[in-house]
Chain A
Amino acid sequence: MNALAASLRAVGGALAFAAGALAQPPQEPKPPAPKATAAPAAQGQDPKPAGPATPLPPVPPMAVQNPFLPFDRARFEAACRALGATEAQLGRFGAEAADVGLARAADDLMRAVSPALAAACKRRDDGDPEAAVALAQVLADAKEPALRAHARYHLARLFVDGDEPELAIRALNDYFAQDLNVSPLDGEAAFFYAQALADVPMPEHALPRFQAFLQWFPDASERFRAAAQQRLGELQRQQESRLHELADGMQRTTRDLRKQRTGKPVQVDQEGYLEQLNQLIEEFEQRESQSSGAPSGNQPSANPANQSQLPDGESNVGELNKRPTLADRWGDMKDADREKIAAKLQKGLPPQYQKMLEEYYKKLGKAGPRK
């Protein structure tokens, strides 16, 4: 397993968007800190001894050249022909591309020529827990790089939608290492890579990749570009704030708690938040006392205790798990069906995906079902 992890990291290190290059690259982010605590320890304080609550995925450094080539339509169509696409299907692809964009049209064509991919995507759309293993099987069986790219993209999307951004990052690391420039899905893959990084959250890595996405994919769907602009704006506003950094850590802990990860590493992170809050309160109190000595004396208070008495509003909490989640469905499955999926995991999948999916299903098991 160590060798596997090392090879994953090595693959990751060779990437480009993961990998992404900017003509004028933003500041190179620091490598992901091997910790899950929200904020760095204050000066003079020892860091906490415990390891991360949630291990962060490897994120390769930004490169300085755009690794994405213009979409080679002839090559893509040749790949589809090799997979059995008919002229009629290729004709529909051409017509559809003008209507819904190249990425969607290409994915529709790929699903048309690969019933296994279509079936796996349908399982995912239906919220079937077997979707992950079905997509991994398509990936394992695919000889054609374009089909592999689509299978890997959909697997990563499944992880993003399933609140598993760390797994999505790992799948997309492989996409950028092995499947780049064979499908017009590259732009969406780049978008979801940045989104997964923001979801972890790893804002220092997400920010330059949203910038790169916007710079390199000017023709991407407006839906993705608008979302990227919005996330980028949020990240930029949050960049210089210790409070946002603290909130980032709390966001990671929220995800841990939702998956019933309540062990020592999470508790250490939580204690760290209290320390950070204490420090912030002290700092604000000091500022308060300094400003109260001024002759005017009637400036608005910056006391955080007052500031935190904010009107109640919609929090993200209300949106959690309203609909049956994958975890619910997994929990509701019969043991025999779960065992069937477990057996499929052991057959024919690349070792790194076998490990990734074992982790995925283990987390599904921990997260559900709701009683």
Chain B
Amino acid sequence: MLRFLQERVNKSTKDFDARPEAERAATRPESDALAGKQARVQDLMRRLAAKLGNESAPEGGR
């Protein structure tokens, strides 16, 4: 699910970036929504990490 969500955000980012500069500047709600989608994936990732951390699942260190 996370991968699917991230794929969608990636595609939306590319689509947004492909628009002309003037059009992008005029679509602030869309870039807010895009940031919101990325934040959602980030939030889910944090929850998953916390959940796995609580279960002491082995993970690679950094």
Is B47 touching A267 in the complex (CB atoms < 8 A)?
no
User: Which residues in chain B, 1-37, are within 8 Å of chain A measured between CB atoms?
Assistant: 1-3, 6-7, 9-10, 13-14, 16-17, 24-29, 31-32, 34-36
Is B49 touching A302 in the complex (CB atoms < 8 A)?
no
Is B3 touching A274 in the complex (CB atoms < 8 A)?
yes
Is B31 touching A257 in the complex (CB atoms < 8 A)?
yes
Is B49 touching A250 in the complex (CB atoms < 8 A)?
no
Contact residues of B with A, CB < 8 Å? Answer: 1-3, 6-7, 9-10, 13-14, 16-17, 24-29, 31-32, 34-36, 38-53, 55, 57-62
Is B48 touching A254 in the complex (CB atoms < 8 A)?
no
User: Measured between C-beta atoms, what is the minimum distance from A307 to chain B in Å?
Assistant: 5
**Whole-angstrom CA separation of A243 from B47 in the bound complex:** 10
Partner of A307, one of B10, B24, B32, B52: B52
Q: What residues of B have a CB within 8 angstroms of the CB of A315 in the complex?
A: 39-40, 43
A sample of 12 more A-B contacts (CB under 8 A), given A270-B10, A281-B3, is A39-B62, A244-B46, A247-B45, A250-B41, A254-B39, A257-B13, A262-B34, A267-B10, A267-B13, A368-B28, A370-B28, A370-B32
**Whole-angstrom CA separation of A247 from B44 in the bound complex:** 9
Is A304 touching B17 in the complex (CB atoms < 8 A)?
no
Is A270 touching B29 in the complex (CB atoms < 8 A)?
no
User: Measured between C-beta atoms, what is the minimum distance from A352 to chain B in Å?
Assistant: 28
Is B49 touching A238 in the complex (CB atoms < 8 A)?
yes
**Whole-angstrom CA separation of A260 from B35 in the bound complex:** 9
Q: What residues of A have a CB within 8 angstroms of the CB of B61 in the complex?
A: 240, 242
- 28 example contacts (A-B, Cβ-Cβ < 8 A) are as follows A238-B49, A240-B61, A240-B62, A241-B59, A242-B62, A244-B45, A250-B42, A254-B38, A255-B35, A257-B34, A257-B35, A260-B31, A262-B16, A267-B10, A267-B13, A267-B14, A274-B3, A274-B7, A274-B10, A278-B3, A304-B2, A308-B48, A309-B1, A310-B44, A316-B39, A316-B42, A320-B36, A367-B28
Is A266 located at the chain interface by the 8 A CB criterion? yes
User: Which residues in chain A, 249-305, are within 8 Å of chain B measured between CB atoms?
Assistant: 250-251, 253-255, 257-258, 260, 262-263, 266-267, 270-271, 273-274, 277-278, 281, 287, 302, 304-305
Partner of A308, one of B2, B26, B60: B2
Is A254 touching B35 in the complex (CB atoms < 8 A)?
yes
Is B6 touching A273 in the complex (CB atoms < 8 A)?
yes
How many chain A residues touch B (CB < 8 A): the figure is 52
Is B9 touching A270 in the complex (CB atoms < 8 A)?
yes
The list of the 3 closest CB pairs from A to B, nearest first, reads A243-B49, A250-B42, A257-B35
User: Measured between C-beta atoms, what is the minimum distance from A269 to chain B in Å?
Assistant: 10
Is A317 located at the chain interface by the 8 A CB criterion? yes
Q: What residues of A have a CB within 8 angstroms of the CB of B6 in the complex?
A: 270, 273-274, 277
Is A321 touching B32 in the complex (CB atoms < 8 A)?
yes
Q: What residues of A have a CB within 8 angstroms of the CB of B51 in the complex?
A: 307, 310
Contacts across chains A and B counted by CB atoms under 8 Å: 136
Q: What residues of A have a CB within 8 angstroms of the CB of B10 in the complex?
A: 267, 270-271, 274
Using CB atoms, name the residue of chain A closest to B38.
A254
Q: What residues of B have a CB within 8 angstroms of the CB of A362 in the complex?
A: none
Partner of B39, one of A260, A274, A313, A317: A317
**Whole-angstrom CA separation of A320 from B48 in the bound complex:** 22
Is A260 touching B24 in the complex (CB atoms < 8 A)?
yes
Partner of A251, one of B29, B42, B52, B55: B42
Type the 1/0 row for A38-79, where 1 means its CB is closer than 8 Å to any CB of B: 011000000000000000000000000000000000000000
Q: Taking each of A266, A307, A309, which has the highest tally of chain B beta carbons within 10 Å of its own beta carbon?
A: A307
Q: What residues of B have a CB within 8 angstroms of the CB of A237 in the complex?
A: 50, 53
Is A369 located at the chain interface by the 8 A CB criterion? yes
Is B41 touching A240 in the complex (CB atoms < 8 A)?
no
Is A241 touching B38 in the complex (CB atoms < 8 A)?
no
Is B13 touching A258 in the complex (CB atoms < 8 A)?
no
